Amino acid sequence: MVNAVQRVLKTNGIAFISTTYKKWYGWYFKNNGKWVLDPTHLREYSDDKQLFDLIDLNKFEILENKKTLLAFPVVDLFLRLFKIYNRQIHQHKIVSLLKYISIPIPGYYNWEIVIKKK
């Protein structure tokens, strides 16, 4: 992905990267013996170096680097646990209201990085 950004971004162009950051104690769902936020994620970063090593600092300047605690609606936890993927249930009025009740996911952060091509 970083190579593609390098290729298509013009000089002084800005790219926004958002990914998942996981502390060592992070857990949510178990997938192939590992606790993951979402089994469809290809990777969950657990060290800044893992991503920053991919960004060539001779070609990019990091403008912003922040992590915010992830929180998900409580109802989503139960819908996933019981493997309820029916779109109509997700759009039901009561389920939609319950989505306003969120809890933090232990050890998981939304990692946002803004880079500028030199």
Domain ranges of the chain: 2-70+105-117
Residue 33 phi, psi (nearest 5) = 80, 0
Residue (of 6, 110, 111) closest to 61 by Cα position? 6
Scanning the structure block, which residue is given the tokens 């920053």?
A: 52
The per-residue pLDDT for range 36-93, each reduced to its tens digit, is 666 666 678 999 999 999 998 899 999 999 999 988 888 887 887 888 878 788 788 9
* Amino acid 31: pLDDT: 59
Q: Quick one: the chain helix, strand, coil %, rounded to 5?
A: 25, 40, 35
The residue type found at 41 is: H
Helix (H, G, I), strand (E, B) or coil at 97: helix
The pLDDT of residue 35 is above 70: no
Q: Using CA atoms, how far apart are residues 53 and 68, in angstroms rounded to an integer? A: 21
pTM for the whole structure: 0.72
The pLDDT of residue 106 is above 70: yes
